[in-house]
Structure 1
Amino acid sequence: MSYQAIFFDFGGVFTASPFHAITDFAIQQGTDADLFAETLLGQYGVDGDHPWHRMERGEITLEQARQLIIELGANKGFEADIYEVFASMGSKGGVREKLADYALTLRPAGFTTVCVTNNVKEFGEGWRNLIPTSEIFDHIIDSCEEGVRKPDPKIYQIALERANVKPNEVLFLDDFEGNLIAAEALGIDGLLVTEDEEKTITDLREAITS
């Protein structure tokens, strides 16, 4: 396949997956991991009215989402403070510098590069400074700025329009399978990112050179 554009998720691709940190936190406090994750994030494979989803669409603030999620947890008999979860991540959220370095080579090689991320307004300056985003990406499609989040097809359509490419000209890297399934339904090829950074680089290189 001759790709013209590479779309990247951010968290879980250029940094360690937050999903693993959330699972670890739940286990440490003796809470069912699946129940805790759903309380914190809602059903992540859909775009609904859970506070986390609303926050990622920019409809409510981080603090508003925090308080609503604390209430959800309290109703289920456990503590669900997103600030404590964030604090527990520490070095687990480390940057994948080798992948960032490889991504820097894509624009000079003629690819259009786009970051398609579900993110939070209050985190904007922080995550964008973890890697040289302005050098890596031609466009950044941030859910909290666009008012739509993955896996809603609209966010991929926005990315396609900004990059001026067709779905079959795109390879999309994400660590959440539901996001890839939604993109693939539009005709975008997906590459599932794991914790193995070297494998991600190898898979990406092979996909764009084959």
Structure 2
Amino acid sequence: MIEAVIWDFGGVFTTSPFEAFARYERERGIPVGVIRTINSTNHENNAWAMFERSAIDFAGFDAAFAAEARMLGYDIPGRDVVALLAGDLRPEMIEALRRIKARFKTGCITNNMPADASGATASSRSIYSREIMELFDALIESSKIGIRKPDPRIYLMMCEKLGVTPDACVYLDDLGGNLKPARAMGMTTIKVESGPQAIAELEAATGMKLL
């Protein structure tokens, strides 16, 4: 019996930043995929991971990411990557959340940036839209607790906040690596590749009509 639906934010309620990464790379003659490669190398302790845990500040991330890029032979300041994170909102996903909230508990687990990065990107205006955030019963931000997905502890923290067991939850994320631990602990997982696809799978999991 499903009691709660837990959501990632970026790449779920907004379009994936991977598209912006690829555009940036093409415009600068950098092979497409380099930014994603940097982000996934030493993924627990690289610049990106430390930034999302607030282990370094914006200036530290800017320098650390640039150093990681230079090791691969590219000039990519971290501040440029942060500026690419703002995606377009997916209205259909926001409407699905509204409908889900009428019947289920709702939570959001987001790997995000410390507050001092908000001035560097317009994403703070869309990602933390009050209209959307008010629809969640609980919110966990990696930058505030010093733990980030896919650390299993962050999913258990959300279950505790919502007062549910993992097997009573549906979890949506656009990254397979973040879904794996949630699935291992018993959650029903949905990899978000598009709004319509995710909503169709969420309808099947919850028995609700969301569009």
TM-score range, shorter chain: 0.7 to 0.9
Amino acid paired to 1:201? I
Structural mapping, 1:190-201, within 5 Å: 190-194=189-193, 196-201=194-199
TM-score by length of 1: 0.87
Q: Give SS of 1:105's match.
A: helix
TM-score by length of 2: 0.86
Residue 96 of structure 2 corresponds to which residue in structure 1? 102
Post-superposition CA distance 1:50-104 (Å, at most 9, x none)? 11101101111122111111122223221112332344566xx100112102201
Whole-Å separation in 2 of the counterparts to 1:129 and 1:88: 18
Asked if 1 retains the 8 angstrom alpha-carbon contact of 2:13 and 2:94, the reply is: yes
* Residue 198 of structure 1, CA deviation: 1.9
Whole-Å separation in 2 of the counterparts to 1:197 and 1:20: 15
Residue 79 of structure 1 corresponds to which residue in structure 2? 75
Range with greater deviation from structure 2 (183-192 or 21-30):
21-30
Whole-Å separation in 2 of the counterparts to 1:62 and 1:87: 12
Q: 2:52 aligns with which of 51, 56, 61?
A: 56
Q: Give SS of 2:33's match.
A: helix
* Residue 19 of structure 1, CA deviation: 2.1
Structural mapping, 1:1-210, within 5 Å: 2-39=1-38, 41-43=39-41, 48-87=44-83, 93-109=87-103, 111-122=104-115, 123=118, 126=125, 127-129=127-129, 131-134=131-134, 136-194=135-193, 196-209=194-207
Asked if 2 retains the 8 angstrom alpha-carbon contact of 1:100 and 1:131, the reply is: no
CA RMSD of aligned residues (A): 2.1
5+ long unaligned stretches in structure 1: none
* Residue 149 of structure 1, CA deviation: 0.5
Whole-Å separation in 1 of the counterparts to 2:101 and 2:69: 44
Asked if 2 retains the 8 angstrom alpha-carbon contact of 1:7 and 1:115, the reply is: yes
Whole-Å separation in 2 of the counterparts to 1:156 and 1:8: 11
